[in-house]
């Protein structure tokens, strides 16, 4: 392993309210249901993040930060060092007037539900996105015409040197599936503030149900996936380009271009990360050959593949 028994014991002593396991299969923590073992998997509480990061920094232990695992492909050989999961031990959500304050591990569905319960509108688009708030901020997640940048006020982040900074929505430089945080490795989203508007709870619920119906109709929710696999090229739709290249249903092992929506790569049961990556590369090659357009992964690949 890339970490010693003594280091494991020292890290474990720092976790009193969160969770701590070793040799944890990452397939349990990604919506793809794919991924080898993490040497150490920690889901810390808010106050435990800094001590863990500080110790790993001092000991030169690699740290991989993840959220809900809804946009990840983890290599079949797993992840060395520590995986720090900002999850259910950091998921508090509170409402103050028209503002929602939530920790980074809160699921978008939970934050959207809190908004609905408070009769606040503006977050309906995010109710069905299967990710955490922290991950959504990092990639400026969006759906059905809405994006996080539309409702975000500011974000509190922790860096590996122990500095706590608050970034305004303008400072985050949010654009399509991009934020400044992506360019600053070692920056961890801890919490965020969202500004919404007063609305009718009935209308909010109706919109959420309408969007859920559209997802059910158009997306392959019956198979594990990481959502949209490729970013939308300017002026095109990735799914349409993939379909036009004759790749609907194209498979490598148990990894398959969805027959329901070509923008999704799905795990039909026992797909490996290697199969998914091989399929993605072939899709990129054939789309380029067919249309001359380059498409790039939206899915983040981490860990060891070979």
194 in the same domain as 274 = no
Is there a catalytic annotation at residue 228? yes
Instruction: Among 171, 204, 237, give the residue marking a domain's end.
Output: 204
pLDDT of residue 234: 92
Scanning the structure block, which residue is given the tokens 């508090």? Answer: 92
200 in the same domain as 107 = yes
108 in the same domain as 62 = no
Torsion of CA 293, 299, 304, 306, to 10 degrees: -40
Question: Is residue 117 within a helix (H) or strand (E), and if so which, with residue range?
Answer: helix 108-117
At CA 111, angle to CA 25 and CA 144, rounded to 5?
90
| Residue 278 C-alpha from the chain's centroid | 21
DSSP H stretches of helix in 227-272 = 238-244
Is residue 111 classed as helix, strand or coil in its secondary structure? helix
At CA 191, angle to CA 197 and CA 126, rounded to 5?
45
99 in the same domain as 200 = yes
Is there a catalytic annotation at residue 258? no
- Does 57 reside within a domain? yes
Question: Is residue 265 within a helix (H) or strand (E), and if so which, with residue range?
Answer: strand 264-267
At CA 35, angle to CA 30 and CA 39, rounded to 5?
105
Q: Which domain holds residue 274?
A: 220-302
Q: What is the number of H-type helices and E-type strands within the chain?
A: 7, 19
- Split into its structural domains, the chain has a count of 3
| Cα separation, 298 vs 126, whole angstroms | 17
- Does 82 reside within a domain? yes
- Does 256 reside within a domain? yes
Torsion region of 181: left, alpha or beta (phi above 0 gives left; psi -120 to 50 gives alpha): alpha
Q: Which CATH number does the domain housing residue 229 bear?
A: 3.90.78.10
Q: Which CATH number does the domain housing residue 182 bear?
A: 3.30.465.10
Tens of pLDDT along the chain (306 residues) come to 579 999 999 999 999 999 999 999 999 999 999 999 999 999 999 999 999 999 999 999 999 999 999 999 999 999 999 999 999 899 999 999 999 999 999 999 999 999 999 999 999 999 988 889 999 999 999 888 899 999 999 999 998 788 899 999 999 999 988 999 998 888 999 999 999 999 999 999 999 999 999 998 999 989 999 999 999 999 999 999 999 999 999 999 999 999 999 999 999 999 999 999 999 999 999 999 999 999 999 999 999 998
Is there a catalytic annotation at residue 47? no
- Does 261 reside within a domain? yes
| Cα separation, 52 vs 132, whole angstroms | 21
Of 179, 228, 275, 277, which residue is the catalytic one? 228
> Are β-strands 19-25 and 37-43 bridged in parallel, bridged antiparallel, or unpaired?
antiparallel
* Listed residue (182, 197, 104) closest to 150, CA to CA: 197
Of 24, 43, 85, 177, which residue is the catalytic one? 177
pLDDT of residue 290: 97
pLDDT of residue 1: 52
297 in the same domain as 199 = no
CB 261 within 8 A of CB 219: yes
Instruction: Among 65, 88, 111, give the residue marking a domain's end.
Output: 88
pLDDT of residue 185: 81
The size of the chain, in residues, is: 306
- Does 295 reside within a domain? yes
Q: How many CB atoms lie within 10 A of CB 301?
A: 15
- Does 237 reside within a domain? yes
At CA 190, angle to CA 137 and CA 303, rounded to 5?
70
pTM passes above 0.95: no
| Cα separation, 31 vs 22, whole angstroms | 20
Instruction: Among 175, 204, 233, give the residue marking a domain's end.
Output: 204
Q: Which CATH number does the domain housing residue 54 bear?
A: 3.30.43.10
| Cα separation, 109 vs 95, whole angstroms | 15
* Listed residue (255, 192, 189, 191) closest to 226, CA to CA: 255
Of 24, 124, 275, 298, which residue is the catalytic one? 298
């Amino acid at each position: 392993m890339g970490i010693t028994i003594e280091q494991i014991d020292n890290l474990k002593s720092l976790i009193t309210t969160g969770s701590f396991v070793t040799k944890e299969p990452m397939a349990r923590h990604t919506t793809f249901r794919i991924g080898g073992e993490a040497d150490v998997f920690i889901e810390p509480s808010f106050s435990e993040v800094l001590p863990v990061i500080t110790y790993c920094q001092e000991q030169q232990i690699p740290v991989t930060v993840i959220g809900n695992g809804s946009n990840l492909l983890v290599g079949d050989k797993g992840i060395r060092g520590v995986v720090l999961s900002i999850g259910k031990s950091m998921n508090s959500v509170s409402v103050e007037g028209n503002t929602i304050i939530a920790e980074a591990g809160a699921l978008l569905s939970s934050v959207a539900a809190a908004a609905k319960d408070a009769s606040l509108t503006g977050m309906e688009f995010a109710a069905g996105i299967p990710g955490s708030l922290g991950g959504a901020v990092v990639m400026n997640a969006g759906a059905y015409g809405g994006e996080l940048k539309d409702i975000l006020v500011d974000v509190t982040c922790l860096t590996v040197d122990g500095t706590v900074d608050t970034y305004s929505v303008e400072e985050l430089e949010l654009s399509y599936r991009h934020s400044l945080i992506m360019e600053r490795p070692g920056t961890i989203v801890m919490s965020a503030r969202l500004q919404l508007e007063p609305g009718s709870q009935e209308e909010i619920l109706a919109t959420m149900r309408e969007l859920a119906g559209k997802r059910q109709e158009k997306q392959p929710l019956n198979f594990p996936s990481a959502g949209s696999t490729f970013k939308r090229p300017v002026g095109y739709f990735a799914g349409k380009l993939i379909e036009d290249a004759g790749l609907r249903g194209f498979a490598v092992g148990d990894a398959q271009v969805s027959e329901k929506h070509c923008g999704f790569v799905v795990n039909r049961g026992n797909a490996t990360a290697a199969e998914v990556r091989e399929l993605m590369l072939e899709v990129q090659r054939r789309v380029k050959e067919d249309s001359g357009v380059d498409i790039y992964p939206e899915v983040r690949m981490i860990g060891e593949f070979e």
